[in-house]
Structure 1
Amino acid sequence: MQGTILVIDGVSTNRIMMKVQLAAAYYDVVLATQVTGVLEIARGCRPDLVLTANSLPDGSAADVKRELTRDDSLADVPVIAVSRTDNPMRRLEALSAGIDDVLPQPLDDVILQARIRSLLRTRSANEELNLQRDASHGFVLPLTDRSCSPHNIKATVALVAEDIQTARNWQDRLSHYVPHDIRTHQIGDIQPLMSDPVADVFIIELNEMSSGVGLRLLADLRARATTRQSVVIAVPNPADAHIAAEALDRGAHDVLQNGFNVEELALRLGTQLQYKHRHDLLRDSVRNGLRAAVEDPMTGLFNRRYAKPFLDRTARSAAESGDKFALMLADLDHFKQINDRYGHPAGDAVLIEASRRLQSHLRPVDLLARVGGEEFMIVLPGANEQEASEAAVALCNAINSTPFDVPEIDEPIAVTISIGAVIGDGAEKEMTNVTSLIAKADQALYGAKNSGRNQVTLSRPDTAVA
């Protein structure tokens, strides 16, 4: 099955007809007759979408939406209302109440199926982001954070029409309803559309003359990396259900299937901007969560979770190309004494400054990671023995050359570092074995410590690992 759809209608023949339509498209259908009890039914079947009559025996589609929002896990379930007549005022009332779309009876199967596919596609993308976010953060975003008044969102809107005068007429009418920066474009001149700053929303006219060009533009906007996160709203002009359906299947977030209506456009625009705002927050949350999973929060360096795969990739690349690379393990000398004498805040300040100094002496392609309390891993792709030795000495000097100024400590703190290094060699299989290389670097670090600290020890190819 493609998903579960909850159908709500007080008229049995309507329920049966909708079930037949949906079952033919391989949806699992659950039936209900009224608003009362709908929350319990939804909690039981966990619908992917709700298809409800706009008028029910004990309420309306808006009441169904309100019932669903009482449960955070159901608040985002899309709702399509089915109206007995194509009444513009009823449609606006339903959209204002948070209904995703209103379709008139008899239901046009083409637009119904396209609308369902579009809403399920959007919900699936958001759910995937939610799962990734929750996996990295370990919490669920509360409903209060999901909501954002459209009046608080200022956006750039691009109106794209067959002729520029139509776009300007729409701009003049829409500007009375929304606070956004509205720009006009002719559909054949797409270069300005792609220039910075990219619009947050594209509203595209689709008429008989330009529907092919408009649909290609729509698909192009949804495919480009620079515009993929922008909202696209299609406006068949004049109304055309089949063009509207194709626009949805090409990736439009919303359509005005009855043609241009400024009040309806303003409502749909506000709703889509809310969705975009939430989607952007989710995407940023996932990105930040993934970054937090591989970054050390104190120093901002990568951590062990990132360093090991990076080393693995470097070793594999060297094995394929025959190149060399350097692996270093570095440890701040007598760091425990710094903590004991000056306190842990001072120790933290030393770690942060040491990280900054080390990073400033490395190339952009190199890796510096904090892999322990005062221990660092350094990977230099493409470095040979001489380059690694010179880099390691430079790192030592970066730490020991200037004592560390620490807040609330009167005297600068002298700090040194010991480094153990090993050269990986793609020409020799054993010298790309990461486990063996880490052991050799660790042994070299141990040697540097035992030889008086504040120095570099380079492991030789014939060094045995104890």
Structure 2
Amino acid sequence: MQGTILVIDGVSTNRIMLKVQLAAAYYDAVQAGCVAEVLQAARTCRPDLVLTAMSLPDGTAADVKRTLAADEALADLPVIAVSDWEGQQARLQALAAGIDDVLQKPVDDVILQARIRSLLRARSASEELNLQRDASQGFILPLCDRAGAESLRNAAVALVAEDPRTAMAWRDRLSPALPYALRTHAISDIQGLMQAPVADAIIIELNEASAGPGLRLLADLRARAATRKSVVIAVPNPADPHIAAEALDRGAHDVLQSGFDVEELALRLNTQLQHKARKDRLRDSVRNGLRAANLDPMTGLYNRRYAKPFLDRVAHSASETGEKFAVMLADLDHFKRINDVYGHPAGDAVLIEAARRMQAVLGPADLLARVGGEEFMAVLPGATEAKAGLAAIALCNAINSTPFQLPGAAGPVRVTISVGAVMGGAGHGGSTAALVEKADQALYDAKNAGRNQVTLTPERTEAA
């Protein structure tokens, strides 16, 4: 089965008909007859989507949504309501209550299946973001907090139509209802849509003349990096369920099945922009979490967790290209004495300043990581032995050339560092762990030789 759908309807024949319709598309349908049965059924079958009648024996589709929202594990379930009547106001109320869509009986199978596919794709993408956030030790974000509300107020919306006059007419009708910056484009103006700043949401008209170009534009916008995160809403004009279904399958976040309507478009746009704001902040949370997991919080350098796979990648690349690379371990001399004499705040200041100085003398492609208390690792891709020797001396001189200003010290304090370096790559077999071990031995040799100097295996170069 492709997924599980909870079907809720007070009339058993309606449930059976929907179950047959869903089974033909290889969905597993679980049934419930009223709002009171929703929680138990959902907790038991863990559905991927809920398909409910608009009116139930003990409530409405909005009550179903509120019931699910009370359980954190079920709150994000997409909900489609099925209505017996043509009631625009009831439709708008349902959308305002968080229902994802309202379909009219008899339910057109093409639009139903397309809407289910679209909502399941969106839910799957959200779940992946949540998993990534959890893995990076993120936190649960509300649907729209203060930062999200601010981003909504600053949102820009592009209105795209085959005839520019239609887009301008939409803008005039929408302006009183929406707080967003509205701009208009012809459907052929893909270059304008791609130019920065890219719109947060793009509304595309699909009329009889422009359905083909509009659908191609929609797919193009969803595929390009510049507009991939923009909300795209399609407006079949006039209404056409088959064009609406095609728009959903090509990646539209939402469609207006009944054609252009100011109130409905405003509701759907607000909802989609809220979802976008939340996803954007989830992505930021994931990026920040991954960054924090790979950075040393004191110095801002990369940590051991990042340095090891970086070194592995450099070694793998060198084995394919035949280039050399250098691995260095550097250790601040007599660092414990600094902590003992001047205190740990002074020691922290030394680490932060030492990291800044060493980073300044390395190239943009080189890695500098803090891999221990006062120990640092440098990896220089593509370095020759001559370049590695000069870089190691530069690291040493960056520390010893200028005394450190420390809190609690009466005057500047001289600090030195020892560096052990080893070459890897062409002609240097073995694992990266073996290279690190050799660099550690070279560092040990530099310490034994009197500190404040460099040992480059197999040669030794003393600092000036």
- TM-score bin (small chain): over 0.9
C-alpha separation in 2, matches of 1:267 and 1:301: 46
**CA displacement at 1:413 relative to structure 2:** 2.3
**CA displacement at 1:327 relative to structure 2:** 0.6
**CA displacement at 1:154 relative to structure 2:** 2.7
1:185 aligned partner:
185
The residue identity in structure 2 corresponding to 1:446 is Y
**CA displacement at 1:153 relative to structure 2:** 3.6
**CA displacement at 1:453 relative to structure 2:** 0.8
Which SS does the other structure have where 1:429 is aligned?
A: coil
2:436 aligned partner:
438
The residue identity in structure 1 corresponding to 2:336 is K
Aligned: 1:129 with 2:129: yes
The residue identity in structure 2 corresponding to 1:103 is L
2:297 aligned partner:
297
Deviation by residue 1:160-203 (Cα, 9 ceiling, x = unmatched): 00111100010011111110000000001221111110000000
The residue identity in structure 1 corresponding to 2:193 is L
Aligned: 1:328 with 2:328: yes
The residue identity in structure 2 corresponding to 1:453 is R
Report matched runs for 1:104-119 at 5 Å: 104-119=104-119
2:446 aligned partner:
448
Which SS does the other structure have where 1:368 is aligned?
A: strand
Report matched runs for 1:240-251 at 5 Å: 240-251=240-251
Q: Is the 8 A contact 1:236 1:259 kept in 2?
A: yes
1:402 aligned partner:
402
C-alpha separation in 1, matches of 2:95 and 2:456: 70
C-alpha separation in 2, matches of 1:233 and 1:438: 54
C-alpha separation in 1, matches of 2:99 and 2:127: 19
Q: Is the 8 A contact 2:82 2:103 kept in 1?
A: yes
Deviation by residue 1:17-58 (Cα, 9 ceiling, x = unmatched): 111111111111110011113122212211111100011111
Q: Is the 8 A contact 1:325 1:379 kept in 2?
A: yes
The residue identity in structure 2 corresponding to 1:45 is C
C-alpha separation in 2, matches of 1:412 and 1:270: 59
RMSD over equivalenced CA pairs, Å? 1.8
Report matched runs for 1:46-125 at 5 Å: 46-125=46-125
C-alpha separation in 2, matches of 1:317 and 1:44: 50
2:228 aligned partner:
228
Higher mean Cα deviation, 32-41 or 403-412? Answer: 403-412
C-alpha separation in 2, matches of 1:122 and 1:357: 47
C-alpha separation in 2, matches of 1:8 and 1:355: 62
Report matched runs for 1:139-158 at 5 Å: 140-141=140-141, 153-158=153-158
2:462 aligned partner:
none
C-alpha separation in 1, matches of 2:28 and 2:227: 34
**CA displacement at 1:149 relative to structure 2:** 5.7
**CA displacement at 1:297 relative to structure 2:** 1.3
The residue identity in structure 1 corresponding to 2:166 is T
Higher mean Cα deviation, 398-407 or 326-335? Answer: 398-407
C-alpha separation in 1, matches of 2:298 and 2:150: 37
Which SS does the other structure have where 1:126 is aligned?
A: helix
1:424 aligned partner:
424
The residue identity in structure 1 corresponding to 2:25 is A
2:455 aligned partner:
457
Q: Is the 8 A contact 1:48 1:120 kept in 2?
A: yes
Which SS does the other structure have where 1:36 is aligned?
A: helix
Aligned: 1:371 with 2:367: no
C-alpha separation in 1, matches of 2:86 and 2:45: 30
2:203 aligned partner:
203
C-alpha separation in 2, matches of 1:93 and 1:325: 65
TM-score, normalized by length of structure 2? 0.96
Q: Is the 8 A contact 1:80 1:100 kept in 2?
A: yes
Deviation by residue 1:331-355 (Cα, 9 ceiling, x = unmatched): 0111111111222122111111111
Q: Is the 8 A contact 2:234 2:256 kept in 1?
A: yes
The residue identity in structure 2 corresponding to 1:435 is A
2:32 aligned partner:
32
Higher mean Cα deviation, 305-314 or 156-165? Answer: 305-314
Q: How many residues align?
A: 460
**CA displacement at 1:439 relative to structure 2:** 1.1
Deviation by residue 1:79-110 (Cα, 9 ceiling, x = unmatched): 10100023211110100111100000000000
Identical columns (%):
73
C-alpha separation in 2, matches of 1:22 and 1:314: 51
Deviation by residue 1:188-228 (Cα, 9 ceiling, x = unmatched): 12211111100000000001111111011100110001110
Q: Is the 8 A contact 1:175 1:182 kept in 2?
A: yes
Which SS does the other structure have where 1:327 is aligned?
A: strand
1:464 aligned partner:
none
**CA displacement at 1:143 relative to structure 2:** 6.7
Gaps of 5+ in 2: 460-464
**CA displacement at 1:145 relative to structure 2:** 5.7
The residue identity in structure 1 corresponding to 2:432 is V
CA pair 405-305 structure 1, distance change in 2 beyond 3 A: same
Gaps of 5+ in 1: 462-466
**CA displacement at 1:158 relative to structure 2:** 0.2
Which SS does the other structure have where 1:203 is aligned?
A: strand
Q: Is the 8 A contact 1:323 1:427 kept in 2?
A: no
Which SS does the other structure have where 2:35 is aligned?
A: coil
C-alpha separation in 2, matches of 1:60 and 1:354: 65
CA pair 333-278 structure 1, distance change in 2 beyond 3 A: same
1:42 aligned partner:
42
Deviation by residue 1:126-181 (Cα, 9 ceiling, x = unmatched): 00110111111065446786995699543100000011110001001111111000
Which SS does the other structure have where 1:395 is aligned?
A: helix
